[in-house]
Structure 1
Amino acid sequence: MPPLSKSHTSLASRRSSVFNFHQPPPQADVYYVGVDVGTGSARACIIDTNGVILGLSERPITRHELKPNHITQSSTEIWNAICFCVKNCLRDSGVDPSEVFGIGFDATCSLVAISESEDTPVGVGPDFTDNKENIILWMDHRAEDETNVINATGDKSLKYVGGQMSIEMELPKIKWLKHNLPKGLTDLKFYDLPDYLTHKATGSEARSFNSTVCKQGFVPLGVDGSTTGWSAEFLKSVDLEELVEDNFRKLGGVQGKNGKYLSAGDIVGKLTAQSAEELGLTTECIVGSGVIDAYAGWVGTVAAKVDIPTLQELAEKSDGSIGTSCGRLAAVAGTSTCHIAMTRDPCFVNGVWGPYKDVMAPGFWLAEGGQSCTGALLAHVLAIHPATAELSRLSEDSNISKFDYLNLILENLVSETKSRSVVSLAKHIFFYGDFHGNRSPIADPRMRASIIGQSMDSSVNDLAIQYFGACEFIAQQTRQIVEAMTKGGHEISCIFMSGGQCRNGLLMRLLADCTGLPVVIPRYIDAAVVFGSALLGAVAAEESVQEHISKPKGRSRRSSILSTQKSQTSLTNNQQEEPHSPYTAPSATASTTNMHSLVYPTGSHALMTPMDEGAEENVDYFNQPVAKHKQSKSFAESDDSDDDGEQTLSFGSKSNVQKGLSQSLNKLGLKPLSTLDSKKVNPGDKLWKVMEKMTGPGKVVLPSDPHHPDRKLLAAKYEIFLEQCTKQQEYRKLVDLVESENIKGLKV
């Protein structure tokens, strides 16, 4: 594997911005796999016991829209893509399959239809003869009428999904299938995609609280008088009596009777012989209960180690339970952004889905807000502006991203126009960006964008201002969501980001200054979700790991079983399909931060603050404010580092990671990662302990002082933002009233 390219930033900048945190050396021969299935691709990673990613692979998956609003996928294609990625990770990392103890899955919240009698895919239309297309994707909107019928019931279960069921959820899709499939719901059973993947891996019919509670209307036992989880009265009222048969068999059954429901990371079972062979693993690999992809982002980020006084105070007062995570808002960003927070008690917030009980840990509640378009908004603003072609040419000529180039333009404009700051530069642009409706906290799909302050300027400079306005909108709307959640009972102390938007220093600074909250950027920016899934595998396998390491080498129960089996995994991995042509191969993805520089880095937590006492200030809205501290000689400066101080530990094979590492780490006096306390812990606490041990450090962007001119200006513009939001609704109501009277007049 060729060496990764070096950063072009200065040594001082890298030391202050990389995740400088002492990591213990790897604990030998214990690894975990994570699988993430998004809308457009499947990916897998393999991590060691310190949470270091040793292999990462991605493969595209297709989706079909043969008819408007009918969007389908194939579970067969998805499983094959998963197997390809897992085998790639094993090959690239050099990890022996027998050393992989656990695997976790996450996926989009899409409906999978399977034959009960044959356990095979069943086509979901519009071409019902194509059984390969057996998934109705989350973004499929075919079931609009069915959604309206379900919400018209006003059933009590609806208050636990934000007051009404979304067209993206499962029951409306099932109702549509009943009335459109040639044989209705006969011989069908249903899974949310994460639950289907654990079924495919283990053969178990266990379901997750995460999928069933968040997307299918399941109300955990004891909540609001629920005794079975599913409501027979509710399902019959919406003409889905087939789902009630045999204690709700088609949906997963009743807990303790014919069904099993699990929280995140609980043990589902071991890989079957067939799935183990297909994945290139062993039948002793334990599968953890999966989650929806955004929730894997929560798992992979909110335990990041950061020097934030508020969090440190709360941690000192905590009992070490998963309740420590309460108040940490995970913002999982991509095309859209999901905002997920945990509480000890249920908090009902208008426009925010939930509260959901037990979906991460028994006895705890989660809420899920969101912005319908964030990454898509920034892309849209660039796409519709007359100067977008010129921006593409200029950024390509400069060999930097479009967003970095726009940030550079803004920086130059401040100087050229003698403006006070970038925020002041755009003070008369009032950008409200709900181009695709509003999910939270208005929950109004009819909301649209409005921009005040536009001129006839069509230059790249104007595009930069419009882009800033879109970034400011994302940050102001995040503040609106945080305030709504706070009003509903949440106590949010910081925001843990993930996704490619973390690379945008301008956006991260605006998020901190608009919300007044610290923004934490994870160690693995682009891989936080799949990393979170790997942690679920680590949680499920913990007892197996404990038993293995407590015995002399090769004498654990697990080792004995594997040694007596005729293993096919080595043959499978040695004879797996040849790599794709370099012209067509799906690329393996990596975090934007060079991952080789993150393998067991050393130093202090990277704390980025605009006003750190005694530090040389270097504040801007583009590179994120960095406080430069005096550094002691670090591992980056040791004899094993290159000529400009870049850390040279490679991302990739196990042997490369460990080669030459022991001596350097021994000099630092670091000890191997300790295992979890053998004392009995609650399932949620086990999850939290794994998250704390493996998540690693994060960077922090702290908000400016409340009296800083930019904070004051953004606060003033927030009031205008709120008025733009409410006025649009008032204007729409006014014209709708007039138009309804006009229609009545025409009928007369």
Structure 2
Amino acid sequence: MPDDVLGPDAVHLGLDLGTQSARAVAVDGTGRLLAAVSRPLTGHRDGPRHEQDPEQWWSALAAACREALAGIAPGRVRGLAVDGTSGTVLLADRHGTPLTPGLMYDDGRAGAYTERVNRVGERVWHQLGYRTMQTSWALPKLLWLLDRTPVDGARLLHQVDLVTWRLAGRQTASDASHALKTGYHLIDERWPESELAALGVPPGLLPDVVRPGAPLGTVCAAAASVTGIPAGTPIVAGMTDGCAAGIGAGALTPGAWNSVLGTTLVLKGVSPHLVRDPTGTVYCHRGPGGAWLPGGASSSGAGAIAQWFPGADLDALTARAAASGSTAVVYPLVGAGGERFPFRAPDAVPFVLGDPSGDGARFHACLLGVACVERLAFDHLDHIGAPVDGPLTLTGGGARNRYWSQLRADVLGRPVALPEQAEGAVGMAVLAATASGATLEEAAAAMVRVREELRPDPARTARLTHAYLGFVDELTRRGWLDRSVADHARGRAGQ
């Protein structure tokens, strides 16, 4: 490893494609944030439909990169990596020009294909631990696209694949993290050819796949002129946004977890073994070093706040929420597709427990509802044998609300750490540092900074546990939560 890779002169670039924005960050080898620039992304939602224009991903990231690198000497930039939303796919022609919109991570139009995907691929999906694919996963959406798009010479691209193709000036390999929901066999590290052929996926449609952190190529001259990234900059294979945030939070040891609270709640942890979930709500990625990364993505999260309190002064609402003393709970589902994790219930809908009077109490009930979903997620993970007793970090937009983070620590009854830069783009900058010879552990130790640790108030934890168990009881009464998981949650609460 060159002496300055983790020093102040080296610059590592992390690129992030989220639901609402494209983001570029420049971070030096000591973890100091030199620049962070976002550009908005717009999409179209209509019932189960959620899509975006893939060309917008490229133009937004290019603009963000140009601004982020404007004051940085080209010779300092050592590498880059890109993360994106999990399960977002499109079809492109042989030149990388999109043939379809990007079907986003929660697009639900492929419901008619899901049963066939799970029947044909049952053996593989059981081997990989998640047992069944969900409608919003990439493989059912691929079949939906294939029935509606000319496929001669077409290529299946995950969201980040379009960007890395443009950066390198040629098609690059996909990373195994994004390929998971398209059916990639993470144990054998290959596409399951017989199952895909039986589903009608044409040979040559799917990309080559490498592990996260593997070299993909270098930035070409054409991309350099558009993005401001120096030509020849190494590109390393990235990860999905939830995995990227875990790296950015320094969650790298077995039992460590990162909880990303954005539009939805995503948990990602580290395990020395593959975690298999009989309910199919937890799935495992492979980390850059080969460790297993169990986790799940809920359909609940901060997106409910935007839906129910549009245009509100959130700081003022938070102050009123903190003063309310309410223990009412709102089940904070986002969208109309039911729940995906920590239980699967396509018919789930929001509900309210208690009588939150006034906007402050209603807002608090939403914050508490997300915290209850989060606690149930850890109870479910413990129930299926995932290690959950390591350090916990909170990232995502929701982690910027300190009161909400403290409330989550109190509901969970465990300390939480808040990194200085709570975002997936920083995780990609850390991963990009490995392009220069640093190990991921060395890069994270040098570049990940913790801003604050919040410890739970035992008295408040005890009071909020009653609200949590009431939430568990209601989910069980409605038939959405398996009784064995509910009993496990009650048993952990009594320890």
Q: TM-score, normalised by structure 2?
A: 0.88
- In structure 2, relative to structure 1, the CA distance for the partners of 1:381 and 1:75 (3 Å cut) is closer
Aligned-pair CA distance for 1:97: 1.6
Output the CA distance in 2 between the equivalents of 1:381 and 1:122: 35
Output the CA distance in 2 between the equivalents of 1:69 and 1:717: 32
Aligned-pair CA distance for 1:730: 7.6
- In structure 2, relative to structure 1, the CA distance for the partners of 1:268 and 1:379 (3 Å cut) is same
Aligned-pair CA distance for 1:145: 0.7
Q: Give the secondary structure class of the aligned counterpart of 1:250.
A: coil
Q: Which residue of 1 aligns with 2:124?
A: 157
Output the CA distance in 1 between the equivalents of 2:329 and 2:142: 42
Q: Which residue of 1 aligns with 2:385?
A: 489
- 2:220 alignment partner, one of 259, 262, 272: 272
Q: Which residue of 2 aligns with 1:505?
A: 402
Superposed CA deviations along residues 67-106 of structure 1, whole A, max 9, x for unmatched, are 7544433333322222211111121xx2112221111111
- 2:452 alignment partner, one of 693, 699, 708: 699
Q: Give the secondary structure class of the aligned counterpart of 2:270.
A: strand
Output the CA distance in 1 between the equivalents of 2:230 and 2:329: 57
Q: Which residue of 2 aligns with 1:231?
A: 192
Q: Which residue of 2 aligns with 1:82?
A: 61
Output the CA distance in 2 between the equivalents of 1:28 and 1:52: 8
Q: Give the secondary structure class of the aligned counterpart of 1:268.
A: strand
Output the CA distance in 1 between the equivalents of 2:7 and 2:406: 37
Q: Are the equivalent residues in 2 in contact too, given 1:407–1:464 (CA < 8 A)? A: yes
Output the CA distance in 2 between the equivalents of 1:513 and 1:345: 29
Q: Are the equivalent residues in 2 in contact too, given 1:195–1:211 (CA < 8 A)? A: no
Output the CA distance in 1 between the equivalents of 2:121 and 2:58: 38
- In structure 2, relative to structure 1, the CA distance for the partners of 1:30 and 1:474 (3 Å cut) is same
Q: Which residue of 1 aligns with 2:366?
A: 470
Question: Higher mean Cα deviation, 445-454 or 328-337?
Answer: 445-454
- In structure 2, relative to structure 1, the CA distance for the partners of 1:142 and 1:407 (3 Å cut) is closer
Structure 1: 5+ residue runs without aligned partners?
Answer: 1-23, 125-133, 253-258, 304-321, 393-401, 414-421, 544-675, 677-685, 732-748
- Is residue 114 from structure 1 mapped to residue 92 from structure 2 by the alignment? yes
Q: Are the equivalent residues in 1 in contact too, given 2:12–2:79 (CA < 8 A)? A: yes
Q: Are the equivalent residues in 1 in contact too, given 2:54–2:98 (CA < 8 A)? A: no
- In structure 2, relative to structure 1, the CA distance for the partners of 1:408 and 1:73 (3 Å cut) is closer
Output the CA distance in 1 between the equivalents of 2:57 and 2:98: 15
Aligned-pair CA distance for 1:510: 2.0
Q: Are the equivalent residues in 2 in contact too, given 1:333–1:501 (CA < 8 A)? A: yes
- Is residue 263 from structure 1 mapped to residue 211 from structure 2 by the alignment? yes
Higher radius of gyration, 1 or 2: 1
The one-letter amino acid of 1:235's match is: L
Q: Which residue of 2 aligns with 1:284?
A: 232
- Is residue 438 from structure 1 mapped to residue 417 from structure 2 by the alignment? no
The one-letter amino acid of 1:98's match is: G
Relative to its length, the structure with more strand (as a share) is 2
Aligned-pair CA distance for 1:111: 0.9
Q: Which residue of 1 aligns with 2:488?
A: none
Output the CA distance in 2 between the equivalents of 1:375 and 1:721: 18
Q: Which residue of 1 aligns with 2:319?
A: 408
- In structure 2, relative to structure 1, the CA distance for the partners of 1:730 and 1:69 (3 Å cut) is closer
Matches within 5 A, 1:517-556: 517-525=414-422, 528-540=423-435, 542-543=436-437
Q: Which residue of 2 aligns with 1:72?
A: 51
Q: Give the secondary structure class of the aligned counterpart of 2:106.
A: coil
RMSD, aligned α-carbons: 2.6
- 1:38 alignment partner, one of 3, 8, 18: 18
Question: Higher mean Cα deviation, 290-299 or 335-344?
Answer: 290-299
Q: Give the secondary structure class of the aligned counterpart of 2:345.
A: coil
- 2:274 alignment partner, one of 318, 321, 346: 346
The one-letter amino acid of 1:157's match is: V
Q: Which residue of 2 aligns with 1:198?
A: 164
The one-letter amino acid of 2:421's match is: Y
The one-letter amino acid of 1:302's match is: G
Superposed CA deviations along residues 616-670 of structure 1, whole A, max 9, x for unmatched, are xxxxxxxxxxxxxxxxxxxxxxxxxxxxxxxxxxxxxxxxxxxxxxxxxxxxxxx
Matches within 5 A, 1:118-133: 119-124=95-100
The one-letter amino acid of 1:469's match is: A
Matches within 5 A, 1:574-653: none
Superposed CA deviations along residues 440-479 of structure 1, whole A, max 9, x for unmatched, are 1211121122223338x5xxxx221222222222112211
Q: Which residue of 2 aligns with 1:729?
A: 479
Matches within 5 A, 1:382-401: 382=309, 392=312
The one-letter amino acid of 2:235's match is: V
Q: Which residue of 2 aligns with 1:737?
A: none
The one-letter amino acid of 2:343's match is: I
Aligned-pair CA distance for 1:235: 1.6
Matches within 5 A, 1:148-187: 148-153=115-120, 155-159=122-126, 160=128, 162-181=130-149, 183=150, 185-187=151-153
Q: Are the equivalent residues in 1 in contact too, given 2:434–2:440 (CA < 8 A)? A: yes
- 2:241 alignment partner, one of 273, 290, 293: 293
Superposed CA deviations along residues 710-748 of structure 1, whole A, max 9, x for unmatched, are 2222222222111100101289xxxxxxxxxxxxxxxxx
The one-letter amino acid of 1:120's match is: G
Structure 2: 5+ residue runs without aligned partners?
Answer: 482-495
Q: Are the equivalent residues in 2 in contact too, given 1:27–1:49 (CA < 8 A)? A: yes
Q: TM-score, normalised by structure 1?
A: 0.59
Q: Which residue of 2 aligns with 1:715?
A: 465
Q: Which residue of 1 aligns with 2:489?
A: none
- In structure 2, relative to structure 1, the CA distance for the partners of 1:191 and 1:31 (3 Å cut) is same
Aligned-pair CA distance for 1:204: 4.6
The one-letter amino acid of 1:266's match is: A
Q: Give the secondary structure class of the aligned counterpart of 2:319.
A: helix
Higher relative contact order (CA 8 A, sep 6+): 1
Aligned-pair CA distance for 1:59: 1.4
Q: Which residue of 1 aligns with 2:486?
A: none
Equivalenced residues, count: 471
Q: Give the secondary structure class of the aligned counterpart of 1:180.
A: coil
Q: Which residue of 2 aligns with 1:217?
A: 183
Q: Which residue of 2 aligns with 1:102?
A: 79
Q: Share of identical aligned residues, percent?
A: 21
Superposed CA deviations along residues 221-244 of structure 1, whole A, max 9, x for unmatched, are xx3xx4x6222331233233x1xx
Q: Which residue of 2 aligns with 1:453?
A: 354
Q: Give the secondary structure class of the aligned counterpart of 2:63.
A: helix
Output the CA distance in 1 between the equivalents of 2:478 and 2:224: 55
Aligned-pair CA distance for 1:337: 1.1
The one-letter amino acid of 2:355's match is: Q
Output the CA distance in 1 between the equivalents of 2:333 and 2:224: 45
Superposed CA deviations along residues 332-370 of structure 1, whole A, max 9, x for unmatched, are 1111110001101111233533123x3x22431111223
The one-letter amino acid of 2:96's match is: T
The one-letter amino acid of 1:712's match is: A
Output the CA distance in 2 between the equivalents of 1:96 and 1:406: 43
Aligned-pair CA distance for 1:693: 0.8
- Is residue 47 from structure 1 mapped to residue 21 from structure 2 by the alignment? no
